[in-house]
Structure 1
């Protein structure tokens, strides 16, 4: 019996070693970043498939974050465009403690100098100025550089008599810059008024999330306001409103679909239809 038991024990040990070896091989065969989990339906999706679908889950249609350059590549003809104001960097006008270090960290992490990218190119052969807010950089909070780049983009569109599209995505005003941040609300709105007076088209494209001073200024001033599905758009967040008002908010409050039902948004457009929809609108208003 002892010999049988020893033999059985040895077989079990050999089998465990085989399983461990097999698992190690399997882990090595799946490189990091090859798959992603959808935060909405928890489906496991190939990263390449997400990229080919413009970061939209092919299972449930949930819109994940897409960076500014991927959006511009998908929007402009053949992915060709010229970027403007690339050297502008934020300072620390109020001497806010630790602000320079935070800016350096996000520059290193994202390769951006700030959370706004300005580009010019053609959409279905029509020259257009496009601004994209990229919330990888401090949630694309609106500081003096962000406001200045947006204002310059508006003024360039006005000067060149071109339509303007701004993709908004922001956590609001940048607290480290205080009043310098808040004054960007008035500055961008004044530039948009001159663009309007020139009889030119401005399309505001609201993406998740668009909040704070950005919502309270240029984000809601489009001749046409478009939103992506389920995008959160508002001034204060739902939890802040509920705690302040001591009341329960309606389901879907501040989501794109709620805003469309209440007349704040003209249409909701899925990301894969973004280029075709904008091309049609630009053609109609040419």
Structure 2
């Protein structure tokens, strides 16, 4: 069974509260307030309108709960579950005005995060027969990095760095400013702690050989062709972990994985995932 990281409740609530405040604007949901009587109770089902991988239940629950309407939430599925069109993933019951006021925020989180987990699953499925892992990048929606990287995990993918302080990734611009790949690596090694990992991005096989000579343990092969990736794997002989990145698409990820690289990273799984479609089917019950 997929082991998912737990996102602290405090972080979820802080993120969702900011989103609710954005949507409430200056005076709240005037449409619901002006059309529904105070004290009206409703119940609703959240329904999947397509097939995919579910993600974002805790964010949706927080949206309803933080709206202040004493909404009772019951989930029927779990993040990471494969859901089918028509599946009821959760039910909601409580104050009708508050429920409708928080509906869009709840469904936005579910649709966005389930879209990422479902899109990630498509990439993962294409490389499942290989030893490669599908990774996300730091190209995420501002303010939603933790949630989006969690969604990648729900889809069976792996996480790269969460931030600039996680690990050292020496990129082409670092090398350009520092003067050489060797100088950049030696400078980093002289200053980082013994628990901080180091990865170097290379553009050519020549640079890769230089990184290997320096004993770099993880090498990112940037925009290598399929043939160049095969050559890199052959030259490496298992000395370092190899990560392929740049130009990774759903239709070429299988070919990339079959070259023998260890990791494949792509911003596509977070930045280009289509939203997953959910609906909220509401039924009015009566006064509280």
TM-score range (shorter-chain normalised) is: under 0.3
Q: Which has the larger radius of gyration?
A: 1
Higher helix share: 1
Length-normalised TM-score, structure 2: 0.27
Of structures 1 and 2, the one with the larger relative CO (CA 8 A, separation 6+) is 2
